[in-house]
């Protein structure tokens, strides 16, 4: 679930903590932390002041005044919650930052697939990771989209999901984007013409922005998506919101794609 729109929501949660001082930090002892032990990690966070929260693709970056930056990745089902003082600790909290008023910023991750690490700053972290431009960055325009597709025979779907080419799009949203652009997920990147590239870019921006507006990742996020979204029908036996036909699936690289075989013809 945590692709660009969900992480954007987490960013807004973190933004609500700006200026607060971490009184107490607790990190789980195995799995997610990179570089340091849980104890050392918690020690470094204690006393830090929460600064600006930014996002690059699926990566959340929380600046800490004087202490670098906290980089979070949510894997397959991580989340970020601001807990009230009297709220009991939910399960699967892997990192908790407590403030003076008793509220806690909690990073949850049931499956422990994801990472939490300390970096110098957002910019160097993104560069070190080799991440492509954020999918919603203005600089990711038609020309940039054309460039990542050109001379690549790979499926357009795997290109969209390649974080080094463009950051933020995963299995679910790539399906939605391709549906909205009416492109078959297995179309080779270099087979798209100008018009299709324009449609793909427009669908990318529109789908991601709409998902953010609808509160992707929240309880009712899915139901609030527009009726014309395939995501609402992303299940076996689901129906295409455009033609009413049954959605099909295909598998590649261990990932399942949902698409409408009628509206998304292979060319």
Partner DNA sequence: TTAAGTGTTGCTCT
Partner DNA sequence: AAGAGCAACACTTA
Catalytic positions, please? Answer: 2-3, 58, 255
> 134: how many CB neighbours lie within 10 A of its CB?
21
Q: What is the DSSP letter of 207?
A: H
- Is residue 47 involved in binding DNA (CB under 7 A)? no
> 220: how many CB neighbours lie within 10 A of its CB?
9
Q: Which of 37, 124, 213, 252 binds DNA (CB under 7 A)?
A: 252
By C-beta, is 51 or 78 nearer to DNA? 78
By C-beta, is 17 or 69 nearer to DNA? 69
Q: Which of residues 206-235 bind DNA (CB under 7 A)?
A: none
Q: Which of residues 110-139 bind DNA (CB under 7 A)?
A: 110-113, 129
| CB of 53 vs DNA, minimal distance in Å | 18
DSSP secondary structure of 156-190: HHHHHT-TTTSBS--HHHHHHHHHHHT--TT-BGG
- The answer to whether 25 and 231 have CB atoms below 8 angstroms apart is no
Q: Which of 62, 69, 145, 172 binds DNA (CB under 7 A)?
A: 172
- Is residue 158 involved in binding DNA (CB under 7 A)? yes
Dihedral angle computed from the Cα positions of residues 22, 12, 225 and 196, in that order, rounded to the nearest 10 degrees: -120
- The answer to whether 114 and 131 have CB atoms below 8 angstroms apart is no
Of the candidate spans 13-21, 68-76, 81-89, 138-146, the one that interacts with DNA by CB under 7 A turns out to be 68-76
| CB of 153 vs DNA, minimal distance in Å | 5
Give the pair of three-digit tokens for residue 10.
């987490």
Contacts of 237 (CB under 8 A, 6+ apart): 246, 247
- Report the interface residues with DNA, using CB under 7 A: 1-3, 31, 57-58, 73, 75-77, 91-92, 110-113, 129, 152-155, 158, 161, 163, 170-172, 189, 236, 252-256
């Amino acid at each position: 679930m945590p692709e660009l729109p969900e992480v954007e929501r987490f960013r807004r949660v973190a933004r609500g903590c700006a200026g607060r001082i971490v009184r107490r930090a607790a990190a789980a002892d195995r799995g997610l932390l990179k570089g340091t032990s849980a104890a050392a990690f918690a020690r470094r966070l204690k006393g830090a002041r929460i600064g600006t929260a930014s996002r690059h693709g699926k990566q959340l970056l929380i600046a800490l005044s004087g202490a670098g930056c906290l980089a979070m990745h949510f894997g397959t089902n991580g989340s970020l919650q601001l807990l009230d003082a009297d709220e009991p600790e939910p399960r699967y909290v892997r990192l908790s930052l407590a403030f003076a008023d008793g509220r806690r910023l909690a990073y949850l991750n049931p499956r422990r697939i994801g990472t939490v690490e300390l970096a110098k700053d957002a910019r160097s972290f993104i560069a070190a990771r080799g991440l492509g431009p954020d999918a919603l960055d203005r600089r990711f325009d038609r020309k940039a989209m054309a460039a990542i597709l050109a001379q690549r025979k790979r499926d357009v779907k795997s290109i969209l999901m390649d974080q080094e080419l463009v950051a933020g799009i995963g299995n679910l949203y790539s399906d939605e984007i391709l549906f909205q652009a009416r492109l078959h997920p297995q179309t080779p990147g270099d087979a798209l013409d100008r018009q299709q590239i324009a449609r793909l870019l427009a669908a990318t921006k529109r789908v991601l922005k709409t998902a953010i507006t609808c509160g992707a990742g929240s309880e009712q996020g899915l139901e609030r998506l527009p009726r014309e979204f395939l995501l609402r029908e992303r299940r076996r036996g689901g129906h295409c919101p455009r033609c009413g036909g049954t959605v099909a699936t295909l598998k590649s690289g261990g990932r399942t794609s949902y698409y409408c075989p009628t509206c998304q013809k292979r060319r």
